[in-house]
Chains A and B, each alone.
Chain A
Amino acid sequence: MITRFLWNGMSRNVRLFVALVLAIGIALPLLNQLMPRTSALYVPSYILQLIGKYLCYASLALAVDLVWGFCGILSLGHAAFFALGGYCMGMYLMRQIGTRGVYGNPLLPDFMVFLNYKELPWFWHGFSHFWFAGPMIIIVPSLLALALGWFAFRSRVTGVYLSIITQAMTYALQLAFFRNDMGLGGNNGLTDYKDILGFSVQADSTRGALCFASALALAIFLVISAAVVSSRFGKALTAVRDAESRMRFLGYRVEGYKLFVFVLSAAMAGIAGALYVPQVGIINPSEFAPGNSIEAVLWVAVGGRGTLIGPVVGAFIVNWAKTYLTGALPEVWLFALGALFILVTLFLPKGVVGLWEQLKPRKVRPA
């Protein structure tokens, strides 16, 4: 029944798109592993890593879109959920280093030895096991979203005000994680990972698996999001976006709807962050930067808010441009990014996906 519900949630386009995402996630690692290096079809490892990273960004964009595009909550703090998921994964990976650190301490990660820690801080306990760290990746961001959303939606903090407090939240977290006293590596964050689930993070096969996992996660998120937004619940959600007061007067408990979707989105962002960390090999407080959250919002805006495919497309376009421009023309990148923000909001309120629909010839109804 659940599968039927999930299947029916998707339009034909979304089904095709999910299939495409999965195909990429399967094909790239296979081509990387099976093809000889001389072959034209060989996919170099760095491409694998790059695509894996983009897939995580795409998941983050989808999470942002779920709250912004479908519920009208412009969160400028999603990078915080992403980074918290990343930190949970980072803590697990740090515990996997064992005695292979520079100081070779069996109990403490390197930075703790460096900072003269005598014992492991209490919140590090359990993170040596994946069965503990895994759920934490979802629980920690969700709890933060629950706490913030519970207070904010109940007091009817909406629109710009909500944007500003979510931004303040991620800024406060960034400042907090910069402190060495937090016990999370301070400025340098967590890095120098060795193993994940017993496999070396440097190995191409692990990279491939992580790329596939990212694609799988994105596909699952797409299916879940499609089911949510096309259900009766999703209809109410869209109505909250368009006329919140009216929904309230009709007797809907608006804050419940918002809270559910906000927590769901935070959990998605957390998982995306957790998959991101082993692929880039580091997590540090700069991931919390308010600018990162706003950039994620831009991906959604470029791709098309209020659509499921849009954020994924937007994340890929913007990040590909970023990778290309920061390498080839570093001075131009910020100009391009800034211009993109301005042009998209002025001329493409529905994003690239919307543009495609704008240009598509309308079916003429018979008179």
Chain B
Amino acid sequence: MRLLGALLPVLAALVMASTAAAADLATLVANLVTGGYSDRDAAITALAASGEARAAPILQALNDGALYVRSADKAVVIAKGSGKQFALTDAITGKDAGTANEDDLERVKINNRLRGTIDAAMGTLTLMNPDPKVRREAAQSLFIRREASSLEALDKAIAAEKDNGIRRAMAQARAAAVLGSDAPSKDKIEAIAIVRDRGDRDAMGVLQAAASSGDAEVKAAATAAADSVRQSLAAWAGAQNVWYGISLGSVLLLAAIGLAITFGTMGVINMAHGEMVMLGAYTTFVVQQVMRSAMPQLFDYSIIVALPLAFLVSGAVGIAIERSIIRFLYKRPLDTLLATWGLSLVLQQAVRSIFGPTNREVASPSWMSGAFKVGQIDVTYGRLWIVIFALIVFASLLLLLRKTPLGLYMRAVTQNRPMAAAMGIRTPRVDALTFGLGSGIAGLAGVALSQIDNVSPNLGQGYIIDSFMVVVFGGVGNLFGTLLGATALGIVNKFLEPYAGAVLGKILVLVFIILFIQRRPRGLFALKGRSVE
């Protein structure tokens, strides 16, 4: 009986509260548009707490400045439209309320503080949204806001949530809210553990805020947790830099690997190598143009169609160059440099005349866009594909050189030309094919680079010096040297960038390579033996 007696007033209060809420959405909305800012602040929270289905659209409209009071009947309406004429929706019923002129309406004004309250209120409202993505975002926004007022809604949402991941996000948001409330220290310390396990930059912010308030025990726990998060964040930042470095390295590798063939094994200084890359990129552009109009449903696979074509185009141009120019200059390597430089100017100008001097747009297929997270590392699909692609190209080239007859001939001609010729290898044909192969790979690189760089006639120029650096650094005539050189330079570059800035970082890398060549004039992995001289 006594228990019942104790419960009765509570029950009564609950019943009263619920009837009041259910009965009068109209009152809540009316409170929203009258009184001072602080009254309305309370009204927003009350509306959000009411759990009404109409609460979300009304608050959204208020936030967007689309909530009006009609001068004629003081009805609260949501207005949509442009110019002077608005289409109206009754805020309370959600039904169409005709149209009105701007002059007949009075906008409900809000300030930044109210906007903040609305954001928080929307967070609690959207926690119950049927769309899991929206729920996750709501939990995230509540985590950042860490307001005690959202605790109740979070508790309700956690109880109802079925998805484990979202429930965890909500629990973290709840922990942040606990830290922002005046809960007992024990609860707060538990909350700190939850927030610490989240371990990202936002968690860091919450912990730092907790460390500057509350009692000593909480402070100590929060400080310790913040330190541990900071350490793990630093480690993740390092890992992120390594990933960026690998990503840059894969681009360098793609650009340089063709050069590793033509320069590394043939000794031809091909300054037009960058233009082979450019031709590959423009092939991608042309393929996309054709596919866009001819078979739009296959547009997502245009890159895959472009790959063999780019290889063929650049390879064919390469063979033509070798047969018409380079073969006359094998005895004069420095002259090849000049002739191929001239060639690069001609190719650039030819492309400029045909396609125009401006950047051409190459679209990314849908499977290359988007990103995901590994721990705290952001990985975009585009970059991931380029890394994978670079490794595939590298592996296939290695297989080609090691396991096929053509590769055998190439190595034989590189090592000892007269002897290879004496054994019946047609060295001129092998030369042409080798040069074509190197150029074709540059074309493949062009397809990949078209995804991350501007497709313009100057595309190739930006890569030529870097490519030579990679090949020389890695060791001429050694493919693994090129792989290692590209990765190392990529990573070093990305680690220097935060300290020195992008440009200075690049300068430092160049100076480093200049000094490195003095120490080891033949690169990281030098060829040994007679072929050196």
Q: Which of B334, B337, B345 contacts A338 (CB 8 A)?
A: B345
Cβ of A169 under 8 Å from chain B: yes
A19-27, A49-57, A170-178: which lies at the B interface? A170-178
Cβ of B514 under 8 Å from chain A: yes
User: Judging by beta carbons under 8 Å apart, are A168 and B465 in contact?
Assistant: yes
A-B contact count (CB 8 A): 120
The proximity string for A residues 310-347 relative to B, scoring 1 for CB distances below 8 Å and 0 otherwise, is: 00000000000000000000010011011111101110
- Given A171-B465, A338-B349, does the pair A157, B343 have CB atoms closer than 8 Å? no
Chain B 280-325 interface residues, beta-carbon cutoff 8 Å to A: 325
Q: Which residues of B contact A167 (CB under 8 A)?
A: 465, 468
Cβ of A213 under 8 Å from chain B: no
User: Judging by beta carbons under 8 Å apart, are B465 and A290 in contact?
Assistant: yes
Max count, chain B CB within 10 A of own CB: residue among A151, A157, A172, A245: A172
Q: Which residues of B contact A297 (CB under 8 A)?
A: 338
The proximity string for A residues 274-309 relative to B, scoring 1 for CB distances below 8 Å and 0 otherwise, is: 000000000000000010001001100100000000
Max count, chain A CB within 10 A of own CB: residue among B332, B334, B472: B334
B220-228, B362-370, B503-511: which lies at the A interface? B503-511
Cβ of A39 under 8 Å from chain B: no
User: Judging by beta carbons under 8 Å apart, are B334 and A342 in contact?
Assistant: no
Cβ of B250 under 8 Å from chain A: no
| A interface size (C-beta, 8 A) | 42
User: Judging by beta carbons under 8 Å apart, are B338 and A294 in contact?
Assistant: yes
Chain A 244-298 interface residues, beta-carbon cutoff 8 Å to B: 245, 290, 294, 297-298
Q: Which of A151, A160, A165, A290 contacts B333 (CB 8 A)?
A: A160
Q: Which of A74, A164, A176, A346 contacts B329 (CB 8 A)?
A: A346
Q: Which residues of A contact B341 (CB under 8 A)?
A: 294, 341
Max count, chain A CB within 10 A of own CB: residue among B271, B336, B345, B533: B345
Q: Which of A156, A301, A331, A349 contacts B353 (CB 8 A)?
A: A331
- Given A151-B515, A179-B504, does the pair A74, B337 have CB atoms closer than 8 Å? yes
Cβ of B29 under 8 Å from chain A: no
Report Cα–Cα, A331/B352, bound state, in Å. Answer: 9
User: Judging by beta carbons under 8 Å apart, are A179 and B518 in contact?
Assistant: no
- Residue of A at shortest CB range from B272? A338
Q: Which residues of B contact A172 (CB under 8 A)?
A: 506-507, 510-511, 514
Cβ of A152 under 8 Å from chain B: yes
Chain B 337-363 interface residues, beta-carbon cutoff 8 Å to A: 337-339, 341-350, 352-353
- Residue of B at shortest CB range from A294? B341
User: Judging by beta carbons under 8 Å apart, are B514 and A165 in contact?
Assistant: yes
Q: Which of A157, A245, A298 contacts B521 (CB 8 A)?
A: A157
- Given A175-B507, A346-B325, does the pair A163, B334 have CB atoms closer than 8 Å? yes
Sample 11 A-B pairs with CB under 8 A, ordered by A number. A156-B521, A157-B518, A164-B469, A167-B468, A172-B506, A175-B507, A175-B510, A331-B353, A342-B343, A342-B346, A345-B342
